[in-house]
């Protein structure tokens, strides 16, 4: 029964992201075959605003956009700073859990504001120091072994199915690991290091699963961790977004850099919040 529940939870996590992936792959196919250089020129022209736009879109309460942003980054459509901004601002299951537990709005909006500020600033700064990536949708599609003879809808559907199957397998593995460790053990782990709760929360937040954001949110509402810790953990939690990145982007070094920058920004953000709360 437990195994079936884990399988259903994993399937639910993946189903949520499928519509986002399909829309993004449809957009990429359209860029390659219909819009051509016009779309690329538009994105190039507004590239400086991408981190801010990514931050705002990431606040949408769903883990789907983070996964879609990973595919856009793999093709060079969005920058490294924009992707990190999306990861940092993504709230995953936080908002839905808080609403379901009837948490007061006073506990919700400060977290969203922190995500908005940290993600926006981090995205802009990272873009200042990261190298510019060229848009290459055609190379991405060739790498995915597309059959374009059936049209862009078919190609987008095939891309989505390939990523979804891979994502389901990886999500199932991570959910099995979390279930094996146990939620109570994770709670005890955090409670055992109250002075390092910000750092420990980032470690839990980096688990690429909706389960980690749910756990962090519940621990915050139950008073197990404080505001700084929950902000740090939720900042680094991008749901299944990072798993999609490993599937669609072949540059392993670049993937590690994105993950490290996301974790570092979340940790710094949490520590700064903790310092401010201490001084107040």
What is residue 145's three-state secondary structure? Answer: coil
pTM here is 0.77
Q: CB neighbours (10 Å) of residue 211?
A: 25
10-56 residue pLDDT tens: 787 777 778 877 877 777 666 655 544 555 565 556 667 788 888 88
Q: What is the pLDDT of residue 175?
A: 75
**For 158, what's the count of Cα atoms within 13 Å in the CB-facing half-sphere?**
14
> Distance between terminal CA atoms of the chain?
49
Provide the residue ranges of all domains of the chain, joining segments of one domain with +.
2-279
Taking only the tens place, the pLDDT of each residue in 157-173 is 877 787 777 777 777 77
Q: 């189903």: which residue's tokens?
A: 15
Mean pLDDT score, 199-226: 86
Q: Decide: 128 and 205 in contact? Cβ < 8 Å.
A: no
């Amino acid at each position: 029964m437990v195994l079936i529940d884990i399988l259903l939870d994993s399937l639910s996590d993946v189903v949520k992201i499928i519509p986002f992936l399909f829309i993004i792959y449809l957009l990429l196919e359209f860029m390659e075959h219909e819009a051509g250089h016009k779309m690329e020129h538009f994105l190039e022209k507004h590239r400086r605003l991408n981190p801010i736009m990514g931050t705002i879109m990431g606040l949408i309460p769903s883990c789907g956009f983070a996964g879609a942003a990973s595919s856009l980054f793999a093709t060079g459509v969005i920058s490294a700073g924009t992707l990190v901004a999306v990861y940092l601002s993504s709230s995953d299951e936080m908002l839905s859990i808080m609403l379901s537990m009837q948490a007061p709005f006073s506990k919700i909006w400060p977290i969203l504001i922190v995500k908005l500020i940290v993600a926006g600033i981090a995205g802009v700064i990272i873009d200042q120091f990261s190298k510019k990536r060229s848009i290459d949708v055609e190379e991405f599609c060739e790498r995915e072994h597309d059959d374009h003879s059936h049209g862009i809808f078919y190609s987008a559907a095939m891309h989505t199915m390939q990523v979804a199957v891979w994502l389901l397998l990886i999500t199932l593995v991570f959910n099995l690991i979390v279930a094996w460790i146990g939620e109570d053990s994770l709670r005890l782990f955090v409670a055992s290091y109250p002075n390092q709760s910000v750092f420990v929360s980032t470690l839990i937040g980096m688990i690429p699963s909706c389960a980690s954001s749910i756990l962090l949110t519940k621990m915050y509402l139950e008073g197990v961790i404080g505001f700084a810790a929950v902000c740090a953990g939720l900042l680094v939690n991008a749901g299944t977004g990072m798993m999609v990145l490993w599937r669609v982007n072949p540059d392993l070094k670049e993937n590690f850099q994105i993950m490290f920058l996301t974790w570092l920004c979340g940790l710094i953000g949490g520590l700064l919040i903790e310092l401010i709360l201490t001084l107040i």
